[in-house]
Every structure is written in C-alpha cells, then in structure tokens.
Amino acid sequence: MKKWDYKTVKLQAGGGGYKFEVDGAPDKDSSEKPLIDFLKELGADGWELVSSTCTYMMPNVVSMPNPNTIPLRNEKGEIHEMRQPTLLYWWIFKRPL
C-alpha cells in the first residue's frame, strides 16, 4: 500500500488584501513572490494537484470589533476593502512518501 504526504494551499483574495497559507500557516514567502511561482515549485518538487475549490464569502461585519468605524466607501467612492466580499481558493496536493 502506498503512503502519501498531503499539503494544502489557501489563497484569500479581497477583504483587505491577498495572502496565502500553506498547511494552515501564513507563508513567509507570500509577500516576496507570486503564488503562481510557489505552485510551480510544488510541481517541480513532485507534488500533484488532487483537489481545488473556490468559495465566495460575504464580509463578516458582525465579528469586527466596531463595524461602524469602517466606512462603507473609501475616498474615491468605491466600496471600502474591508467591506468587500472575499474569494477563498483552496488547493490540495499529494506526493508519495
């Protein structure tokens, strides 16, 4: 029986920025290199994509300490980034141990 090692990569887009996590922890390189370069490195290291999903999430204004302090619109008249919906992308990879 073959044993596998698994890795998860999550990208949150919107709601105040773009950041990705690897195995549930913020990736230290996420601010230094694009996600696509990181995904290519996974492939080069033998990781195989087995699943992916995209979820649309509305901002959870109720959980903010004081949502009234965050304006609905910014100075340009656009919806404030903390009130924008968030897209959550999630990839699962595996490789043999």
What are the tens digits of pLDDT across the range 51-69? 998 887 665 555 555 555 6
Q: Which domain holds residue 35?
A: 4-96
pLDDT at 31 over 50: yes
Count of domains forming the chain:
1
Q: Is the pTM of this model over 0.75?
A: no
Q: Cα–Cα distance between 88 and 85 in angstroms, integer?
A: 10
